Chains A and B, each alone.
Chain A
Amino acid sequence: MIYALRELRSKFKSGIKNPLFIFVILLALLPLALQEPYLLYVATLVLIYIVIAVSWNILAESGQFSLGHAAFFGIGAYTSTLLYKYFLVNPLLGMPFSALTSCALALLMGVICLPLREFYLAIATLALSEVLRTIVIMLPEITGGAVGLGIPPLFGGNRVLNYYLMLAIAVIALSTLYAVRRSKLYLALVTLRCDEVVASSIGINPVKYRLYAFLLSALFPGLCGGFFSFYVGFIDPFSVFNIEISIAPQIMSVLGGIYTFWGPIIGALIIEPVKEFLRISMPTGYLVVYGIIMILCIRFLPRGIMEALKAYTGMSEAVPVGGRKCSR
């Protein structure tokens, strides 16, 4: 008993020193510093993008490059909205269903995309998200079509409460994916990316683990979508099935450091505020900065800020398979 308590205490102590714990505490204190409602709105968006980017990255780590994460976000958003509209389901209860439908979509997408790699996969996921948007537009009797649907915002539109709800979602997402990165599942995914033949020869079932990656990657963006529609109190196909949502996690991951846990988070922390700032200062064509960041980043910092930090601090990269550095 005492031993167990001691272990718990030491776990707690080491937990406090965990950068993720410190990061979450800082995020929790953020509303105290940001009195301006608009800034809090941006902070909430940043949290959403952190979750999407980290989720996207876990799929990328299994060697599957998605260009269709807007599909998960969008289907999540429409699930909670439509559940509320037709069955008056409380948004908080609807959000888990958002995650569920998103996972169902991921399973479908994953199965369709099983034989596809690289470019094929990227295009197929992009095509699927475009198809979903078209379907939503073409069924106006159910979804409100291109005009969209208005819904009462959650907590009466209270920004602080909404921020904390999103933070709770982010904490669940980040701690889950953080734990995944310390599990055998993660090693299996990385091995799959680096060399599929090696992976299957040591008993990693490529089909099974590919689908796991898809499910893990879709779960939280779907949840975020379910939250987002009730946060803004309005939903339309162009805003939630927006290709920008599919592209953003890639830029964030690459800028911060693709295939790392902190990379996508750093990327989201930098890119989303910059984008919001630019959107206000130059309403047309602000996305040009997205393009320029992507070009510069790939050209001069292909492994992102994390890699630069590691090189600077002298920390070496974990070598996943047989001591051979993975080139993918």
Chain B
Amino acid sequence: MDPSIITFFQVMMCGLLVGGLYALFSVGLNVIFGVMKIINFAHGEFLMLGGYLTYFLFMLANIDPLLSIPITMALLFLVGFLIEKSLIKPLAGGPPYSYILLTLGISIALQNIALILWTGNYRSVPVWYSALPLSIGPISVGLSLVVAFTVAVILTAILYVLLKRTTFGKSVRALSQNPELAQAMGINVSKMYTLTFCLGAMVAGVAGSLVAFTMYIFPNVGFEIAIKSFCIVILGGLGSFEGAIVGALLLGLAESFTSVYLPGGSGWAPVVFFAVLLITLVVKPQGLLGAKA
């Protein structure tokens, strides 16, 4: 086969795999937005906490990142629960800016606490499969990335079923569509808010576990991914499950293609993606798959 075609598919493959990780993270963020109508600026810090948790569980107790996922989920659920109950719930009915500032404040506080506790060093979990390549025909990709992608896809699928096929999911969708009517139908809004937030935190924590052995974790890792993720959900349409996945895969592809095909490399990736985002916003403010406001 022509080498340039092989490169093309290789690049596409890498983009899609990374996009899968972004998708998992963005879907959680989007569910929180759909139900609570807030953008959680601290969402990235859940990823960061999940990453560090995985790292320390591996280093201190030698637990494989894949096996520690349930522990991460449980602890991040708890973190989400505490933050929602103590800080976000009391704000109900406040002006929109208060949520932006509150979650931004939580984000800055957690980032800097992590910086003080664990320094700014880049850390990665050295699992046995982290350096192994996986060849599919002429294309080869990192095994760890494939493992992470598989986990992300499974979890995203579980989330999809949870949201589309269960009573819980029905309540979530009812709340996103019409909070007053949902409440009138006997849905406990306050409880649902808490549950959704915890669910989002949990999923972000798992995304952190995956990032810990495929890329690096450092105190700002969550914020960097979160900024991308905000753009992903806005590109796909705030509140739209499918939109978040489409947006995430698009970002993965944009990053991987610009890093190979543009002179200057991956540095241009954010510009390309933000340009796509801005054009989308101008043409279709509600996002690619977003419902009309």
CA distance A116 to B105 in the complex (A): 23
When the two chains form their complex, are residues B281 and A291 in contact, meaning their CB atoms are under 8 A apart?
A: no
With CB as the reference atom, state the residue of chain B lying closest to A291: B109
When the two chains form their complex, are residues A284 and B231 in contact, meaning their CB atoms are under 8 A apart?
A: no
When the two chains form their complex, are residues A295 and B100 in contact, meaning their CB atoms are under 8 A apart?
A: no
How many of chain B's residues touch chain A, expressed as a range?
35 or more
Closest chain-B Cβ to A265's Cβ sits at a distance in Å of 18
By Cβ-Cβ distance, the 4 closest A-B pairs, closest first, are: A291-B109, A294-B105, A291-B108, A288-B112
Contacts of B100 in A (CB 8 A): 65, 67, 118-119, 122, 250
Majority DSSP secondary structure for residues of A touching B: helix
Binds A, one of B4-12, B115-123, B128-136, B145-153: B115-123
Contacts of B234 in A (CB 8 A): 120, 123-124
When the two chains form their complex, are residues B270 and A294 in contact, meaning their CB atoms are under 8 A apart?
A: no
When the two chains form their complex, are residues A116 and B274 in contact, meaning their CB atoms are under 8 A apart?
A: no
When the two chains form their complex, are residues A258 and B112 in contact, meaning their CB atoms are under 8 A apart?
A: no
When the two chains form their complex, are residues A138 and B285 in contact, meaning their CB atoms are under 8 A apart?
A: no
With an 8 Å Cβ cutoff, the count of chain A residues facing the other chain is 44
When the two chains form their complex, are residues B278 and A124 in contact, meaning their CB atoms are under 8 A apart?
A: yes
Interface positions of B (Cβ within 8 A of A) = 33, 38-39, 87, 90-91, 94-98, 100-102, 104-113, 115-116, 119-120, 227, 230-231, 234, 238, 264, 267-268, 270-271, 274-275, 277-278, 281-282, 285
With CB as the reference atom, state the residue of chain A lying closest to B262: A138
Closest chain-A Cβ to B116's Cβ sits at a distance in Å of 4
Closest chain-B Cβ to A325's Cβ sits at a distance in Å of 12
Tell whether A131 is near chain B: CB-to-CB under 8 Å: yes
With CB as the reference atom, state the residue of chain A lying closest to B91: A298
Contacts of A115 in B (CB 8 A): 281-282, 285
When the two chains form their complex, are residues A298 and B109 in contact, meaning their CB atoms are under 8 A apart?
A: no
Contact pick for A112, options B108, B115, B230, B282, CB 8 Å: B282
Give A280-294 as 1s and 0s: 1 = Cβ < 8 Å from B's Cβ atoms.
Answer: 001011111011111
19 contacts between A and B (CB under 8 A): A116-B281, A116-B285, A123-B39, A124-B277, A124-B278, A131-B271, A138-B271, A247-B108, A251-B105, A284-B116, A284-B120, A285-B112, A285-B113, A291-B109, A292-B105, A292-B109, A295-B106, A299-B87, A328-B96
Closest chain-B Cβ to A284's Cβ sits at a distance in Å of 6
When the two chains form their complex, are residues B231 and A302 in contact, meaning their CB atoms are under 8 A apart?
A: no
When the two chains form their complex, are residues B96 and A65 in contact, meaning their CB atoms are under 8 A apart?
A: yes
Interface positions of A (Cβ within 8 A of B) = 60, 65, 67, 112, 115-116, 118-120, 122-124, 126-128, 130-131, 134-135, 137-138, 247, 250-251, 254, 258, 282, 284-288, 290-295, 297-299, 302, 327-328
Closest chain-B Cβ to A289's Cβ sits at a distance in Å of 8
CA distance A69 to B51 in the complex (A): 31
When the two chains form their complex, are residues B97 and A287 in contact, meaning their CB atoms are under 8 A apart?
A: no
Which has the most chain A C-beta neighbours within 10 Å: B87, B105, B111?
B105
When the two chains form their complex, are residues B112 and A298 in contact, meaning their CB atoms are under 8 A apart?
A: no
When the two chains form their complex, are residues A294 and B96 in contact, meaning their CB atoms are under 8 A apart?
A: no
Given contacts A60-B97, A134-B270, A298-B98, contact A290 B278 (CB under 8 A): no
Contacts of B101 in A (CB 8 A): 250-251, 254, 294, 297-298
When the two chains form their complex, are residues B108 and A287 in contact, meaning their CB atoms are under 8 A apart?
A: yes
CA distance A104 to B57 in the complex (A): 51
